[in-house]
Structure 1
Amino acid sequence: MYIGSTSEWGLRQMVFEVADRAVNEVLDGRAASVDVTLTPDGGVCVADDGPGISIDETEAGPGIEALLTQMQAGTGAGGRHGVALGFCGVGPAVVNALSQRMTAEVRREGVRWVQEYARGVAAAPLTEAGAATGSGTTIAFWPDADIFGAAEFSFDGLVERFRELAFLNQGLEISLTDLRRPDESCSVRLRLPGGARDFVAFLDGHPAASAPMDTIAFEYEDPRMAGVMKVAFRWCSCPEKRVRSFANSRPTVDGTHTVGFRDGMTAAVIAYAREQGLLTTTDPDFDADRISEGLTAVVSVKLDRPEFEGSTRGVLGNAEVRDCVGQAVQDHLGRWLKDDPERAAAVIDRIVQGARRD
């Protein structure tokens, strides 16, 4: 239940549970990058160049052995400044329990420490293994074949999720390397400072220079929702709608942030169309689905106290977020429509033509 599945999806969650701490080390400025490697023998190695996990328990958290053998409910950074990658945020101890083997190496304060585990239990005491070059933590694990059978890690699935994180957190750098097939090894390094604007271009398949329409992008902090929003969107030439939403870097299927986005879009377009006489007093309002045709958008909010509906955390429930996002989108889109009347007319005309076809 802690990773959601014994299929490939569950294997992926194991990687996220181990990578969670390393990613937050980078976001907190204590590390520069995270390196994830799929090894030839079916394992996964997650390494960072931070200060290294504490050997013993401190005020900041558990020591390395406790972290890897005792389930830490709520593991992962809280608030808007961190990300929680795992399915339930229970930490790497669950991964250890589901692995036939796990190894840990900590390079801290000039000393290298190592320890090995078997199915969640330490196989030997934490051992000092000489001087360390640099600092950091490396954790490797090999999933238990009796639990996961022939399931394999999906390199593309890992890349997709880590790419999202790199777009949503511009200071994050992650590399992924697949060494499982020596003749087909591949590697990708993700550092995407363009943020939500470039995320839209990626989803749309058009770089900004060749896009058929401007990308409207903004970042805004609203104290009413105790958080910050990052929103980017543009219309393209195809009818398909691509709207991706996130709350504290976690993918969502719906929620108050997406409802607010739709509210703001609809209000701005209708107000502009009526001001310009493109909708008469007898014409009905455009509906949100019609306005969203051909839209590519990224809607991300980071909140101090996010509230999710259901155990899978796929729907954001903070009521105040709807009005905050809606007003911000209405203001920014309304301003863009007035400042660029030629492209605004193209957007409205497309919506009008679509409504007439209905």
Structure 2
Amino acid sequence: MRVAEPTRSGPAEGSGTVITFWPDAEIFETLMFSFDTLADHFRELAFLNRDLDITLTDDRDPGTPRADRFRFPGGARDWIAHQGTPRGPDVIGFERECSGMDGTVEVALCWGDSDDERVTGYANSRPTAGGGTHELGFRDGLAAALTACAREQRVLAPSDPDLAPTRLGAGLTAIVSVKLDRPEFEGSLRDRLGNGPVRACVAEAVQEHLTTWLRADPARAAAVLARIPALTRD
């Protein structure tokens, strides 16, 4: 709702846009902003958009002002480190423009000591808790690269089946972020990415970069393969 006509106030000292927001008590359950909740969201945005520089300031209590700055030039790689410095193989990360899906993909992943899997997907900086084609493509590329590596190192015999994409997550932490001109969200919560071409584009990018990373250090590749239950021999 416009409350007044725009007025000229003179030359500006800088550039940008200022947005003032007041929550409506008839819409929101609480009118109190949570600094920690906003900090978590801005930190997430800064990780996903490496060129962003966000400052969050809380002046509600003059006696205890709070301020945080969020800027992560390393993008998703920095996010992996933020979740806990991995032990063992290093972090692999890359960003790639994919014309086939009219967008870009950024991926960072590593294997750690835990057996838990943490694969988190985003589309246009929006969390995709329901998964989608970008996460399927990530798993396809992961399986293709690890299968090829296992055959090169003769951990898999020529007659053995390829590794299943759904059984490679032990100890894996990964961020899969795509930015698209026209994202298509599906599901009742609109939290699943449905763009078909994304799957093949992400799979190709992951397979290419991960294969290069594995071949660069055979000992590191062997350590990764040793984490896969399907390749473990008693």
TM bin, normalised by shorter chain, reads 0.7 to 0.9
Q: Any idea what the Cα deviations from partners look like across 1:148-194, whole Å, max 9, x if unmatched?
A: 34453222221222112212222211111123344443210112111
**Closer/same/farther in 2, CA of residues 339 and 160 from structure 1, 3 Å limit:** same
Where in structure 2 are the equivalents of 1:76-225 lying within 5 Å? Answer: 122=3, 125-126=4-5, 128=7, 131=10, 134-135=13-14, 136-150=16-30, 152-203=32-83, 205-206=84-85, 211-225=87-101
Is 2:140 the counterpart of 1:271? no
Where in structure 2 are the equivalents of 1:216-295 lying within 5 Å? Answer: 216-253=92-129, 254-281=131-158, 283-295=160-172
Identity across matched positions, percent: 52
Q: Any idea what the Cα deviations from partners look like across 1:209-254, whole Å, max 9, x if unmatched?
A: x753211111222211111111111111111222121112222121
CA contact (8 A) 2:89 2:223 kept: no
Cα RMSD of the aligned pairs, angstroms, is: 2.6
Amino acid at match of 2:148: A
CA contact (8 A) 2:145 2:208 kept: yes
- Higher alpha-carbon deviation: 342-351 or 234-243: 234-243
CA contact (8 A) 2:109 2:172 kept: yes
CA distance in 1, matches of 2:181, 2:59: 39
CA contact (8 A) 1:257 1:316 kept: yes
Residue 205 of structure 2 aligns with which residue? 328
CA contact (8 A) 1:286 1:355 kept: no
Amino acid at match of 2:32: E
The DSSP-based 3-state class of the residue aligned with 2:107 is strand
The DSSP-based 3-state class of the residue aligned with 1:153 is coil
- The Cα shift of 1:353 comes to 7.5
Amino acid at match of 2:97: E
- The Cα shift of 1:287 comes to 3.0
- The Cα shift of 1:348 comes to 0.6
CA contact (8 A) 2:95 2:105 kept: yes
By percentage of residues, which structure has more strand?
1
- The Cα shift of 1:325 comes to 0.7
The DSSP-based 3-state class of the residue aligned with 2:68 is strand
Which of 173, 195, 213 matches 1:318?
A: 195
CA distance in 1, matches of 2:229, 2:19: 56
CA distance in 2, matches of 1:280, 1:127: 72
Residue 345 of structure 1 aligns with which residue? 222
- The Cα shift of 1:305 comes to 2.1
Q: Which has the higher contact order (CA 8 A, sep 6+)?
A: 2
Q: Any idea what the Cα deviations from partners look like across 1:272-313, whole Å, max 9, x if unmatched?
A: 112221123565544334311111111111122222214744
Residue 184 of structure 2 aligns with which residue? 307
What's the TM-score once normalised by structure 1's chain length? 0.58
Aligned residues: 232
From the CA coordinates, give the structure whose radius of gyration is larger: 1
Amino acid at match of 1:299: V
What's the TM-score once normalised by structure 2's chain length? 0.86
Structure 2 unmatched runs, 5+: none
- The Cα shift of 1:260 comes to 0.3
Amino acid at match of 2:65: S
